[in-house]
A and B are shown apart, each in its own frame.
Chain A
Amino acid sequence: MDRNDYYGGDSASLNLTQLYRKFRPDQAVPQDLGRDRDYAVDLIPKFIIASGELTRILVHTDVTRYLEFKQIAGSFVYRDGKISKVPSTEMEAVKSPLMGLFEKRRAKKFFEFLQNWKDEDPATHQGIDLDKDTMAQVYEKFGLEPGTQDFIGHAMALYLDDDYKKGIARPTYERIVLYTSSMARYGKSPYIYPLYGLGELPQAFARLSAIYGGTYMLDKPIDEIVTDADGKFVGVRSGNETVKAKQVVGDPSYFGAGKSAEGGKVRVVEEGKVVRAICFLKHPIPGTDDADSAQIIIPQNQVGRRNDIYIACVSSTHNVCAKDVYVAIVSTIVETDRPEQELAPGLQLLGPIHDKFVSVSSLYTPTSGGEADNIFITRSYDATSHFETVVEDVQNVWKRMNGKDLVLKKREVNVEA
């Protein structure tokens, strides 16, 4: 059941009419942006890592038959006031303008070390223990400058802040390998993106589910979560109908997010806020070699923040807007009481902005796992630029509901009419 009349909830892709209805209900859709139906503007900017967990799920479940993907044309990082391509091999590191001559040699050694690492061959370890040494120690061993650490940790390992440096090095190693192997897959960037926008993902899964007998109801308000005397889940009420079930799953917005508890149970709490600006541009982002799409990461240290700023840009190449329009979404985790200003370093990189829609959304997390009351709540979509944490959450909810891990095994039945 979905209260909206479109698929995808918080991560839907909207046409212009829907976008204006959501952000500027009292304003008519302007004529200068082209045809309404050409638009599929994501509410939450995320890209799919080519070798990541979501790709594996997409391929495994065969929803790929409904979807078509294109590469994101470039992955960039901000350093010392300008943007450059993220190097992902020792070859690219050597050519990158991100580093000076001596730093390049050190970075080359570091990337060679990662590429050659074999768990079973101590000769490749250079005295480092990925499971004992911290990432800070590894950086120190190769003598990498803080600015280089910024792009490795934030634009390749995709950490949102610097806490990872205090932890053991293996997770960072794995994330960098994921980045480089994803990069190697299609060549231009480690990211892929579905034609017609991210809203295609829930639609494709909904169709797959319908094919296996699932029923979807759009435009169905959910008025109450009905529980018994012990607080256990009974059903959900919509108008004067109540559907009963053993378990319920949903996102925080259906479980009291943003509302006062009014004597009821508090099921979700706010963990922080994300500010996002959806910007329409009439030109590619400057400095990206006219890329039709790009990700730009502004590491927190580079602009004196605690959280990175992300820019995700797509265009008509991905069938999400009219020709010669570029949709760039700038986002970060809110640190002050003037969130829009926090986006300034990102907005400045875009050049003239034709129009922009700014929103601040809260990140909610469930107060309990749901095993006790059969109410299973997901986390809000976070500020990361990809789907890896979403997949982790899906796997986690599955485990809470079923008591065991989600294992994708070969389908036994061949589905056909």
Chain B
Amino acid sequence: MSKQFQFKLVLLGESAVGKSSLVLRFVKDQFDDYRESTIGAAFLTQTVTLEDQTTVKFEIWDTAGQERYKSLAPMYYRNANCAVVVYDITQSTSLEKAKSWIRELQRQADPNIVIALCGNKLDLAARRQVSQEEAKKYAEEEGLMWGETSAKTGEGVSDIFTSIAKKLPLTAPPSARAGARAGPARTGVDLNKQAAAGQGQGEQCNC
């Protein structure tokens, strides 16, 4: 039988670097030229099947703009198994911002978190401000994965998620994995199920 894993993946990076566009490309293979700043996305899931038929399901958390005004909650990083920190290759300031997120992750997140640095908007390479050498060197120094993508053309997108899936510690028994809050690994009480049962007992709920 093939093995199944579920991991929480968080996205970080300056506004407008293309975080939501990357997710949209990865999950739905779509792109939108006039994408608004993210609202409306709770989290999405997408499954990657590796060569040995192991499936890795990503529960992908987009920031919903909470990174503005320093208000990203600890809950966002909590139990994240992997993080994709995105910069825009046409904006050198966005790499600086990415570096500060990486420092924040190294301080706050689980020490075993897998971090990928991702240079997006590869289709705009003519306007490049961040060289591949510079970003790659930084990633190597910090022990990060690195790749360039274009959410617009799709180039590099599935590669980066697949490499993350391969790098995640798939050998650990499911119970030993940090995270995996959703899905069968949840051990807490199930409010939803119980509430449905409760409604039958005359609880007022017009939902």
Contact = CB atoms under 8 A, between A and B. Distances in A.
B69 A207 contact: no
B2 interface: no
Nearest to B28: A417
Contacts, number: 112
Interface string A161-205: 000000000000000000001000110000010011000100110
A56 B188 contact: no
Given A7-B73, A218-B71, A211 B195 contact: no
A417 B46 CA distance: 13
Given A55-B195, A56-B205, A211 B73 contact: no
A211 B61 CA distance: 11
Contacts of A203: 73-75
Contacts of A417: 20, 23-24, 27, 38, 40-41, 44, 62
Contacts of A51: 198, 203
A409 interface: yes
B189 A186 contact: yes
Contact of A68 (B70, B188, B198): B188
A166 B64 CA distance: 51
Contacts of B75: 66, 196, 200, 203-204, 207
Given A216-B69, A417-B62, A60 B191 contact: no
Interface in B19-36: 20, 23-24, 27
A389 interface: no
A416 B39 contact: no
A203 B73 CA distance: 6
A206 B71 contact: yes
B76 interface: yes
Contacts of A196: 75, 78
A197 B195 CA distance: 22
A207 B43 CA distance: 11
B198 A185 contact: yes
B62 A408 contact: no
Interface residues of B, number: 40
A409 B23 contact: no
B181 interface: yes
Contacts of A215: 65, 68-69
Contact of A186 (B24, B194, B206, B207): B194
Contacts of B203: 51, 56
The contact size tier of chain A is: 35 or more
A395 interface: no
Nearest to A417: B41
A181 B199 CA distance: 12
A219 B187 CA distance: 34
Interface in A36-88: 50-51, 55-56, 58-60, 64-66, 68-71
A207 B74 CA distance: 11
A415 interface: yes
A371 interface: no
Interface in B148-207: 181-182, 186-189, 191-192, 194-195, 198, 201, 203, 205-207
Given A60-B207, A64-B191, A409-B207, A207 B73 contact: yes
A58 B191 contact: yes
B191 A69 contact: yes
Contacts of B44: 416-417
Interface in A376-417: 407-410, 415-417
B1 interface: no
Interface of B: 20, 23-24, 27, 38-44, 62, 64-66, 68-71, 73-76, 78, 181-182, 186-189, 191-192, 194-195, 198, 201, 203, 205-207
21 contacts: A55-B191, A60-B207, A65-B43, A68-B186, A68-B187, A68-B188, A69-B188, A70-B187, A192-B189, A204-B75, A207-B66, A215-B69, A216-B69, A217-B70, A218-B69, A409-B206, A415-B40, A415-B41, A417-B20, A417-B38, A417-B62
Given A64-B192, A200-B75, 16 more contacts: A59-B191, A59-B195, A60-B205, A70-B187, A181-B198, A181-B201, A185-B198, A186-B194, A207-B73, A208-B42, A211-B40, A211-B64, A216-B69, A217-B70, A219-B70, A220-B69
